[in-house]
Structure 1
Amino acid sequence: MTWGWVGVSFFTLMVGLAMAEIASAYPTSGGLYWWAARLSSPRYAPFASWMTGWFNLIGQFAVTAGVDYGIALMLGATISVATHGAWIPSTGATVGLHVLICFTHGVANSLGPTVMRWINSISTWWQVIAPTVLICTIAATAPIHQSSAFVFTHYNNNTGWSSPAYVVLIGLLQAQFTFTGYDASAHMAEETQNAAVSGPVGMIMAIVVSAIVGWGFIIGFLFCIQDLQTTIETTTNFPVMQIIVDCAGPTPAVVLMVILMLACWFCGFATVTSNSRMIYAFSRDGAMPGSRWWHLIDKKRQTPLNAVWLSVIVASLLGLLSVGNATAFSAITSIATIGSYLSYGMPIITKLLNEKQFVRGPLHLGSFSSPIGWVALAWILFITVLFVLPPKAPVTAINMNYTCVAVGAVLIGAGLGYALYARHWFTGPRINLSSEDRSSVHQIERDSFPEIYPSDGISTAESDSKPYAD
């Protein structure tokens, strides 16, 4: 937990920098799948766009499910402590709370841009203040503090695997799952002022702030553990809650947990926002079943309501996997991580393979662009293999990591869908930018793909596109 966070933070920053450079050049809500198409050769652009979009879509569904299921675990633990153990959350109850939390995110994302801006403004500060208040409180009230040797060198293995190296590596999932979703800045580009600068800056700041605050959060909790085995075996099903109770007492623990849950709720709210914009953009290009329903905009609220509720429904259904499967939550986080990072990797590799057609935006990496891109790509390939491996031994039908099945299903399903059906009509993403940004991006496209643009310089995609508000 301690050193894995540091290592994952570094390599995630490499991925974020590689993506931010592309986001600065192409600010559009299609984000990753849009970039993959524009940075590929014309022959392979539709396929690259299609596969990127599907992996990003599945990853985002799973991110929302993972965040909301985590909040459900927190809420169940809080109720258990508040009732002095009279109510112990069952798996069914946790799934029910998960569905309820998903519903609240759907409602909040349906209230229009004014309310959403207000929520995001509060979230920006709450995400930093909440963990700081919590850590300071339990550090001040903890009866004892663990030694530095425990925090920075203690090794604990409850997986059943005998290889320390293997256990350390699969333990990286905790940190890597946390560092997902920063592509939200790209998906919100069409609703952001000066998106070519503020979008990539938002992506990098999300990683840097999470790295710093998250590491302090982990260190603080590890120092405040009172009894490791009691914490692991807690009846609340949420070890963090047990640490807070042991340090501050039941009543303060409930208050602190509510503060922390609100921070996580804001996170879940943002994942639904990002997911719905991805659904909107992808369906706008006809790439999803029932596309005509998912890219409709509610004129009163200026929000893709159908896309919002599709995100909520799919995330709710993913929570049902926890019934009867002890490793379902780990599988969901694995799917979220792998799906997201495979979609992050596609525009990075297409850029590396087609450097000459990439025209830098306002923010770029200069001579570090290619080295950082290759490091980012290597890390993505590494974690893709790592997180489909089984987390517990001996491997059974119950504790097996079904991530490989899910990733394989997306790969085969999307691949066959393209080969048998979509390749006949899917030509890649349409453009949906402001007039100024559209003009800038199309000039880049005309320079990169002169063979597919008519002499007057106006593409079919541009002539068909409409402003987001319409």
Structure 2
Amino acid sequence: MPPKLTAAEIEANDAARLNELGYKQELKRELGSFGNYGLALSVVCISSGLTSLFSYGLKTGGPVVMVWGWVVVACFTLCVALAMAEISSAYPTSGGLYWWAARLSSKKYAPATSWMTGWFNLIGQFAVTAGIMYGIALMIAATISIGTDGAWVPTVGATVGIHIALCVTEGIANSLGSRVMTTLNNFSTWWQVIAPAVIMITIVAKAPTHQAPKFVFTEFNNDSGWTNTAYVTVVGLLQAQFTLTGYDSSAHMSEETKNAEIAGPVGMTMAVIVSSLMGFLFIIAFLFCIQDFPNTVNTATGFPIMQIMVDCVGKVGAIVMMVMLIIACWQCGFASVAANSRMIYAFSRDGAMPGSQYWHKIDTKRQAPINAVWLSVFIAAILGLPALGNSTAFSAITSVATIGLYISYAVPIFAKIVNKKQFVRGPLHLGRFSDVIGAIAVLWICIITILFVLPPVYPIDAVSMNYSCLLVGLVLFGAGGSWVFSARHWFTGPVINLGNKEEGEVNLENDKKMFKTSDDLEEGADSKEGVKVSEVERVA
């Protein structure tokens, strides 16, 4: 048995491994295995996804699709998480997906795949953060309305105002430094499990009546306007897939995680497993406790979850439990901003964003990318504004979040399958199942990318249209256009930010010779702003 390493030795090993990947240690490693898992669990946050989209689930397929669709989505999502975890173990860096895409692609396509993966991941994270914040705003508005017995009816303007205010609170909390982040994250890790568990037990125990198992596991309900059962079923999977999203946050926090080669992939995988189990129980518990199905589906609050709790425990009890869920969702937003800001930090460190020189700066006192934090919350706040003109904006945001993130998940997994020899296993890997699980993950992502640009409601008009196809197209043409007309001339992939002395003391992935410095790229390479540039070499 190998000797147990001290904390100082683990930290030194983490820093050395990061040096091998081309980066110096700038962020403070405050997260352990439990903390990394907790942050990913908080971002996934079943309290947020299921509460916000419970109405959507009841109308697009109803109980049978919600229950069994969750099982199907959870199984395929676990395949995606396992495929990503394997890569994360090999390359623990905050860049995550776009870094992996560059590392695992051939020399010819590495810069382009890295660029597109990074932008899809970044836009997806912006949308996830915005979706979380807007969902909390809806929850708070509904809770106030119930508490005032309907005397206060939330307007769209009021909801957007709450959304913006919530974004500001998340920015402030994320600006307080790594110790505050660790403390909040530790609390959140337990709260994400305890709060839903307490609520589930309470409503099941207090419900006046319970639905029959036949209703929970077989009842199909379609209020979408579409007549094709199969179409409604697959569109109904969005509730589950949006909820089980964001676990890549474990990878983005790698440079702040101790023993990241193991803690990161374990955190990512465990977050999906625990969320899948808790989400399944959450759905079943609330379906069993529905008292009046039509009244629940068409509740004036817009939140069937709230209506079910009112019917089971009364107004006061429902408000208390709703506040418990809101706290869980706020913590979800906190973790999402943390992960989003680290992606901004890493992408800017490699010069890929406008104003990169501002976004990758580290506040030396708090050892956190404060500028990146506020960019994250600013974009999330702005993304709430379309709701002022279109009631389906929230649904579009959730679709974009799901599609954007999962496209960025697919690229490095596919690149690893195609370029097997370029992948060097980390401490944790899938062995002979690696290619099979990776292929299943990529296929599933292709399927959901098509499904979630489809319009969920009929007839289709300016309000009911699924604008996610337009938004995803804008990302594709925006990032693709900027690549064709500009970035291809200067973006060559991840950048080495080590000093000359540090660079001379480490082996920059010399097993695969991943990096070249600007001195090696004199012919045809354009080093932007004098920064050393790295390029991925094809492995013979």
Please say if 1:443 is aligned against 2:513.
no
Distance 1:450 1:97 in 2: 48
- Equivalent residue of 2:381, what SS? helix
Q: Match for residue 457 of structure 1?
A: none
8 Å Cα contact 2:508-2:515 kept in structure 1: no
1:298, distance to aligned residue in structure 2 (A)? 1.2
TM-score by length of structure 1 reads 0.94
Instruction: Supply the AA of the counterpart residue of 1:291.
Output: S
Please say if 1:122 is aligned against 2:211.
no
- Equivalent residue of 1:443, what SS? coil
Mapping of 1:375-390 within 5 angstroms? 375-390=440-455
Of the three residues 314, 330, 339, the one matched with 1:274 is: 339
Mapping of 1:307-456 within 5 angstroms? 307-431=372-496, 439=506, 442-446=509-513
Mapping of 1:30-69 within 5 angstroms? 30-69=95-134
Unaligned runs of 5+ in 2: 1-65, 521-526, 534-540
8 Å Cα contact 1:89-1:236 kept in structure 2: no
Mapping of 1:10-409 within 5 angstroms? 10-409=75-474
Distance 1:94 1:219 in 2: 29
TM-score by length of structure 2 reads 0.82
1:176, distance to aligned residue in structure 2 (A)? 0.4
Distance 1:367 1:137, change over 3 A: same
Distance 1:440 1:376, change over 3 A: farther
8 Å Cα contact 2:517-2:532 kept in structure 1: no
- Equivalent residue of 2:492, what SS? coil
8 Å Cα contact 2:200-2:286 kept in structure 1: yes
Distance 2:240 2:83 in 1: 19
Q: What do the CA deviations read for 1:140-199 (whole angstroms, capped 9, x no partner)?
A: 111111110110000000100001111110110011001111000111111111101000
8 Å Cα contact 2:496-2:517 kept in structure 1: no
8 Å Cα contact 1:29-1:189 kept in structure 2: yes
Q: What do the CA deviations read for 1:2-33 (whole angstroms, capped 9, x no partner)?
A: 11100000000000000000000000000000
- Equivalent residue of 1:340, what SS? helix
Distance 1:349 1:299, change over 3 A: same
Q: What do the CA deviations read for 1:8-61 (whole angstroms, capped 9, x no partner)?
A: 000000000000000000000000000000001111111010000000000000
8 Å Cα contact 2:142-2:301 kept in structure 1: yes
Distance 2:496 2:92 in 1: 10
8 Å Cα contact 1:88-1:236 kept in structure 2: no
- Equivalent residue of 2:424, what SS? coil
- Equivalent residue of 2:114, what SS? helix
Q: What do the CA deviations read for 1:202-244 (whole angstroms, capped 9, x no partner)?
A: 1001100000001100100000111111112212121111111
Q: Which runs of 4+ in 1 moved over 4 A?
A: 438-441, 448-454
8 Å Cα contact 2:73-2:241 kept in structure 1: yes
1:439, distance to aligned residue in structure 2 (A)? 4.8
- Equivalent residue of 2:267, what SS? helix
Q: What do the CA deviations read for 1:256-308 (whole angstroms, capped 9, x no partner)?
A: 11111111111111110000000111111111111111111111111111110
Q: Match for residue 468 of structure 1?
A: none
Distance 1:195 1:364 in 2: 14
Q: CA RMSD in A?
A: 2.1
8 Å Cα contact 1:38-1:445 kept in structure 2: no
1:86, distance to aligned residue in structure 2 (A)? 1.1
1:430, distance to aligned residue in structure 2 (A)? 2.2
Distance 2:453 2:470 in 1: 9
- Equivalent residue of 2:222, what SS? coil
Distance 1:21 1:279 in 2: 23
- Equivalent residue of 1:302, what SS? coil
Q: Match for residue 45 of structure 2?
A: none
Distance 1:138 1:439, change over 3 A: farther
Distance 2:508 2:212 in 1: 55
In the comparison of the two structures, how many residue pairs are matched?
Answer: 457
Q: Match for residue 38 of structure 2?
A: none
1:445, distance to aligned residue in structure 2 (A)? 3.4
Distance 1:351 1:145, change over 3 A: same
- Equivalent residue of 1:287, what SS? coil
Distance 1:3 1:12 in 2: 14
Distance 1:341 1:153 in 2: 29
Distance 1:427 1:450 in 2: 10
